[in-house]
Amino acid sequence: MAGTEPGGAARPDVASEDAPATGVAQSRFPIPGAAALSLLGSRDENLRVAEDLLAADVHVRGNEVTLTGTPADVAFAERVFTELVQLAAGGQQVGPDTVRRTIGMLSSGDASPAEVLSLNIVSRRGKTIRPKTLNQKRYVDAIDKHTIVFGIGPAGTGKTYLAMAKAVQALQSKQVTRIVLTRPAVEAGERLGYLPGTLNEKIDPYLRPLYDALHDMVEPESIPRLMQAGTIEIAPLAYMRGRAQPVGTPVLTPDGFRPIGELQVGDLVIGSNGEPTPVLGVYPQGEKDIYRLTAGDGSSTLCCGDHLWAVKTASDKRRGKPWRVLETKQMLGKLRAAHARRYELPMLSAPACHPEREVPMDPYALGLLLGDGCITEQATRVVDPAPRRGRTTQVAGVLQTLEPVASRLLPDSVPELYLRNSAAIRLAVLQGLLDSTVGAIGRRGRIQYRAASPRLRDTVIELVRSLGGTASVKTRAANLIDIRLPQGVEPFRLARKRERYHAEGGGGRPMRFIDRIEPAGRAEAVCIQVAAADSLYVTEDYLVTHNTLNDAFIILDEAQNTTPEQMKMFLTRLGFGAKIVVTGDITQIDLPGGQRSGLRVVREILDGVEDVHFAELTSQDVVRHRLVGDIVDAYEKWQAVQDAQEQQNGGWKGGRR
């Protein structure tokens, strides 16, 4: 009688009474009516493939299948039909290729075809993308389990297509916030300028396979919108590395600002949380087109068109969305929405961290002196509370040690020793300045301060920005500064000013919006990678900028055409919460001049590195026309003969690299 397989599928009856006498077994079982047409195929094409590939004799009458042959052949055929019935009952389209793959998988005895072929990745308009071979399923499973996966195999094995499906699945399930797709354009020597047409027309032929796969998985009308928002980025590999700033651009370090071109791996820079973070990579970029990005408070910095910025729109804030990452050039011409600035930039979430250093004068007293412009009784009492003669002379002597200038008694700016000191020291100086004189305390805690000189104005602006606030010059001739400090940073010590400040709201959330982006010529540029969890670092004017791909699913296709240096550059772009899939065929290397392939050497380099997986696909995993697999096998055999002959002739004379 019929039994049941462990998974619950029907197991057919086996007529074994003839086996002792003749060595022939027979099995009869019904096909469920709903699955019969799908299982047998149009004009019984599936049945004919099964008859050709199975050793047991297959006979179908109505909805009943009869298998005849040796016990082993019948048992194997039973397993094949059980798996096919399970696939058909699950609503899958069963075709001749499905029959071939099912028989192939069961022959290897590694896995259940129904389990492999029913793994749904992405569905759109009734079309579902699934792995079609056991190796493809292992490849897909590896993408789920590892941060970096290399898919290596011949053409037609679904390396890129499945990686794209996993990328779309990760985006739809909000595991990542963007997809980055890239290919090396070696066919044009990465010198796309020699090709006719616009830049997009030059690039499109090399990226077309990625576009085609994407259109199979995402609604075509939504793709331009996703690309405009930076959710999907498609670019040649050469453009992936250009997220850079000119070599002279200041970057904030614990010891002050340093040119980005002087930074080395291991140096510390300040991250968005105000804390030091090490530099993980420094990548010279050569000469690039440069833009100056200016925020609404007057802060600005230089960067290339591909440089990354974390930004948020008003819509993003209303919907509670995280920061999006856009390139400088993606924002050109789109900086306003209904006359309002569109893109908000992140701020320092805490005061910048500098090592505390001993100072010769109380910082609050120094702020009072600088604000008053002369040595006052109030300031001298802070320096030395005891009433005594000569106190003014003592203070004057200390001031001369800070900035010895014969023409004046007081410094005309905040000395470097105080600017590059702990947050407590810097805040105390600012409190002294604001207690000595302040123009107005406006609504929501906005402060106006009138500086005595341009140099003092500039250092007050730097003090405010280093504490996480914004400071902009309203009337440059009068040195009037508009200040906004974050909640929790107390700008006053005088009780009357402090009470007024808190009555008006007591600070809040300082904000910066991009005001304009303007061309600034060409310059030598460099990009850095930092270890901060959000990949943000502080550049010129305390602007917080971005330079690594966080929370992204990144696919490098045709990776056999990368050099080892390009492969290293690409892999080190990995950010936190990101995933990388590298695909390629090491038998089809197009690099000029006998260059080594980065895909060939990377396995040896990364062997044993945790969370990196190499998935091998073969001609058995080809999912195009079945002849493609035969062609791949034929070329492999031919190449093996060529390799053997070249070795016998005394070494390599070319061929694969």
How confident is the model at residue 193, as a pLDDT?
A: 46
256 forms beta bridges with: 253
How confident is the model at residue 256, as a pLDDT?
A: 93
**The CATH number, out of the four listed (3.30.1370.10, 3.90.440.10, 3.30.1330.20, 2.60.40.10), of the domain defined by the range 3-111:** 3.30.1370.10
Choice among 113-117, 517-521, 643-647 with the minimum mean pLDDT: 113-117
Confidence of residue 34 (pLDDT cuts 50, 70, 90): low
Is beta strand 148-152 parallel, antiparallel or unpaired with respect to 579-584?
parallel
Task: Note the pLDDT tens digit of each residue in 284-323.
Answer: 888 889 999 999 999 999 999 888 888 999 988 888 887 8
How confident is the model at residue 233, as a pLDDT?
A: 80
How confident is the model at residue 656, as a pLDDT?
A: 45
The pLDDT of residue 443 is above 50: yes
How confident is the model at residue 341, as a pLDDT?
A: 93
How confident is the model at residue 139, as a pLDDT?
A: 92
Compute the mean pLDDT over every residue in the chain, rounded to the nearest whole number. 80
Task: Supply the CATH classification number for the domain 244-255+267-347+515-546.
Answer: 2.170.16.10
Work out the percent of the chain whose per-residue pLDDT is above 70: 79
- Residue with the bigger pLDDT between 114 and 189: it is 114
Task: Note the pLDDT tens digit of each residue in 413-428.
Answer: 898 999 999 999 999 9
How confident is the model at residue 6, as a pLDDT?
A: 37
- Chain region(s) in the chain for CATH 3.10.28: 363-503
- Chain region(s) in the chain for CATH 3.30.1370.10: 3-111
- Chain region(s) in the chain for CATH 2.170.16.10: 244-255+267-347+515-546
Helix axes 598-606, 564-571, angle to 10 degrees: 60
Site of tokens 């996966």: 149
Task: Note the pLDDT tens digit of each residue in 328-361.
Answer: 988 998 999 888 999 999 999 999 999 999 988 8
Question: For 363-503, which CATH class?
Answer: alpha beta
Is beta strand 579-584 parallel, antiparallel or unpaired with respect to 552-556?
parallel
How confident is the model at residue 409, as a pLDDT?
A: 60
**CATH second-level architecture of 134-238+551-631?**
3-Layer(aba) Sandwich (3.40)
Work out the percent of the chain whose per-residue pLDDT is above 90: 29
Long-range contacts of 8-11 (CB under 8 A, 24+ apart): 9/82, 9/85, 9/86, 9/114, 10/82, 10/85, 11/78, 11/82
The pLDDT of residue 620 is above 80: no
The mean pLDDT value for 470-492 works out to 85
Q: How many CB atoms lie within 10 A of CB 317?
A: 10
Task: Note the pLDDT tens digit of each residue in 496-523.
Answer: 999 999 888 877 789 999 999 999 999 9
Q: Is residue 265 within 8 Å of 281, Cβ to Cβ?
A: yes
- Chain region(s) in the chain for CATH 3.40.50.300: 134-238+551-631
Q: Where are the beta strands (DSSP E) in 300-368?
A: 300-304, 308-311, 324-327, 336-337, 340-341, 344-345
Task: Note the pLDDT tens digit of each residue in 533-567.
Answer: 778 899 999 999 876 667 789 999 989 988 888 88
Site of tokens 């007591």: 506
DSSP structure string for 441-466: E-GGG-EEEE-SSHHHHHHHHHHHHH
How confident is the model at residue 103, as a pLDDT?
A: 80
Q: Is residue 267 within 8 Å of 261, Cβ to Cβ?
A: no
The mean pLDDT value for 634-640 works out to 75
Site of tokens 């690299």: 657
